[in-house]
Amino acid sequence: MSLIARFHALAVTLALACMALVFGLVGAAGPVRAEESYAIAMHGSPRLPADFSHFPYANPDAPKGGRLIWGILGTFDSLNPLIVKGLAVQQIRNYVVESLLARGNDEAFTLYGLLARTVETDDDRSFVTFHLDPRARFSDGKSVLADDVLFSWELLRDHGRPNHRQYYAKVARAEAIDPLTVRFDLAGANDRELPLILGLMPILPRHAVDVATFEETTMTGPIGSGPYRVTAVKPGTSVTLTRNRDYWGRDLPVNRGLYNFDEVRLDFYREANGQFEAFKRGLYDFRVEHEPLRWHDGYDFSAARNGEVIRDTIKPGVPQPSEFLVFNTRRPVFADIRVRKALTLLFDFEWINRNYFFGLYSRVAGFFAGSELSAYGRPADARERELLKPFAATIEPDILDGSYRLPVTDGSGRDRATLRAALQLFSEAGYDLDGTVLRNRTTRMPLTFEILVMTRDQERIALAYARDIKRAGIEASVRAVDPVQFDQRRLGYEFDMIQNRWDQSLSPGNEQSFYWGSAAADNQGTRNYMGAKDPAIDAMIAALLEAREHTGFVSAVRALDRVLMSGFYAIPLFNVSEQWIARWNRIERPSDTALAGYLPETWWQKVGSPAK
């Protein structure tokens, strides 16, 4: 090697060493290990190898073609699910608009390459870099570029839903390294989930979005990079999605065996019983059943008896969805926790489960039922106690030591022991029985409130509960409204009490702030329906976001569960341990079910079966 060549090699080596010093160190904290990877997991490593061919719960040989008709209760007035305004068609997300990464539904929280071929971050997750797939295209044929990613981040940070604004505002800086590479600086966010949250960011084309009108409702289908395009809209009635035969990502491992129908039509129904009758007539292809009475004896019609309608019972591996009667603590009537405790005592689950649910349901306090994340019935470990120590005065001792249990009645509908305990709590809160009316001791005003419902099933539970609390001198009115009005009032917190369900994963993260965080309490469009404003909740959410190891993460989530239980923000109604799916036999599904449960995108039309 010549002297000049040796000098050049030495210069290159020194330059690379300097780059390693600049990009491989973070102050005095030590080296930052950044690796480009096909996937990213919240904790641990991705389950699937880099050369995986398809998700285990998908059938890579599923035939393409046919039509899936989806019957949905409610209505819509917008095709933009990324804004607060309007009632949007949620299936636009994923079917039409894609993310940088795709969720693996057999894992707690792992994302695999989609629009981004690879992802890169460091041990501290102080940054994340996405390397886009050069094949990625929007449905109009234009390439998906780093500039579109930056545009989507800025647009949703400034004009998106409250959760997007909250998440994306944590980014300190974003830049396009080259046309196919974008880097987000997350310094100071202290949020190890944020790289994954950004990986799930919906990507919109800069060239096809008008920022000035983005927050307005629209019946124009968005241009996305996903497998489907919006091809027909009947406002408030139906939306038709047609498979894009030029879809750029059809052969990706994350898509193999998915999105098999040529057409997906979303039909909307205003009323639950009418929706069920339409299913019995074969007007749509499948339904998720939520009503035990109907599941128990409502499928005794000819198509179900002769096998044309198949009923699947699926046991997912995620926390059991739990139904609650939610107190709106923004209302003075529910401001006192003793009132909320007393009203919790008066719900007679044993009577309702026997008479309405055929004993099919169980009941657990807390919000992560049936999983290792649940604190109910478990004593707090040392890590939990350390996290909760600054807030010890607000944590119920029996909830901390795991001995707390929901009240169990004699099932008669007239349990005297729970009534006496509830009246004692009401007395401590300043309420006394005046004949048959419970009145505030100072103002003499009766304790009354309204329960808002949207279905006949909710109304049944509300009426039974109103009957139970009437024995304590409380008058609760039950107001039934249609799904549109219910959603509007729920999103605007215009209610005293509603029935609601929070679905949880095995990897709760930033969305917990959206559910219970103080900042979300006064922002319309969040899911903090109870109006919780508790520093302990905020601190536990921060702790679970900062957790590096699985054990520390579990402790933080259980600590959050204890704080929520101690607040008595909602009355636990029941836990759902199974998913009940009814489908016409023209629709087939894989034999293996994802950890998350049923996934219509993995289904296909039976060969030889005509589409409806």
**pLDDT bracket for residue 231 (50, 70, 90):** very high
Residue scoring higher pLDDT (610 or 575) = 575
Per-chain mean pLDDT for the chain: 92
**pLDDT bracket for residue 357 (50, 70, 90):** confident
For the stretch 159-204, pLDDT in tens is: 999 889 989 999 999 999 999 999 999 998 889 999 999 999 999 9
For the stretch 240-269, pLDDT in tens is: 999 999 999 999 999 999 999 999 999 999
CA distances from 7 to 15, 310, 553 (A): 12, 75, 51
For the stretch 118-131, pLDDT in tens is: 999 999 999 999 99
Number of H helices, E strands in the chain: 18, 24
Report d(CA 284, CA 277) in Å as an integer.
10
Is residue 105 pLDDT above 90, yes or no? yes
The torsion defined by the Cα of 515, 518, 519 and 521, in degrees rounded to 10, comes to 60
Q: Give the residue-averaged pLDDT of 64-69.
A: 98
Buried b (16+ CB within 10 A) or exposed e, 325-346: bbbbbbeebbebbbbbbbbbbb
Q: Give the residue-averaged pLDDT of 416-440.
A: 96
Report d(CA 327, CA 486) in Å as an integer.
16
Helix (H) / strand (E) containing 486: helix 483-491
The predicted structure's pLDDT at residue 532? 97
For the stretch 316-347, pLDDT in tens is: 999 998 999 999 999 999 999 999 999 999 99
Residue scoring higher pLDDT (549 or 556) = 556
Q: Give the residue-averaged pLDDT of 145-167.
A: 95
Report d(CA 300, CA 160) in Å as an integer.
45
Q: Give the residue-averaged pLDDT of 439-459.
A: 95
- The three-state secondary structure class of 68 is strand
- Tell me the residue length of the chain: 612
Give Cβ neighbours of residue 268 (< 8 Å, ≥ 6 apart): 72, 73, 74, 75, 76, 236, 237, 238
The predicted structure's pLDDT at residue 153? 98
Q: Give the residue-averaged pLDDT of 11-38.
A: 47
Lowest mean pLDDT among 101-105, 110-114, 332-336, 547-551: 547-551
Report d(CA 242, CA 261) in Å as an integer.
8
Is residue 466 pLDDT above 60, yes or no? yes
For the stretch 373-390, pLDDT in tens is: 999 999 999 999 999 999
Beta-bridge partners for 118:
131
The full 3-state SS of 319-349, as one line of letters, equals CCCEEEEEECCCCHHHCCHHHHHHHHHCCCH
Lowest mean pLDDT among 437-446, 570-579, 583-592: 570-579
Is residue 29 pLDDT above 70, yes or no? no
The predicted structure's pLDDT at residue 331? 97
The predicted structure's pLDDT at residue 548? 87
The predicted structure's pLDDT at residue 19? 37
Is residue 16 pLDDT above 70, yes or no? no
Is residue 399 pLDDT above 70, yes or no? yes
Residue scoring higher pLDDT (491 or 64) = 64
- pTM score, whole prediction: 0.79
Is residue 391 pLDDT above 60, yes or no? yes
Residue scoring higher pLDDT (596 or 6) = 596
The amino acid at 172:
A
Q: Give the residue-averaged pLDDT of 398-423.
A: 94
Give Cβ neighbours of residue 142 (< 8 Å, ≥ 6 apart): 205, 207
CATH 3.20.20.150 fits 322-575, yes or no: no
The predicted structure's pLDDT at residue 612? 62
Is residue 30 pLDDT above 70, yes or no? no
Buried b (16+ CB within 10 A) or exposed e, 574-603: bbbeebbbbbbebbbbbeebbbbbbbbbbb
The predicted structure's pLDDT at residue 272? 87
Report d(CA 404, CA 345) in Å as an integer.
13
Give Cβ neighbours of residue 366 (< 8 Å, ≥ 6 apart): 322, 374, 375, 376, 561, 564, 565, 572
The predicted structure's pLDDT at residue 9? 41
**pLDDT bracket for residue 135 (50, 70, 90):** very high
The residue ranges of every structural domain in the chain are: 322-575
Is residue 611 pLDDT above 70, yes or no? no
CB atoms within 10 A of CB 413: 16
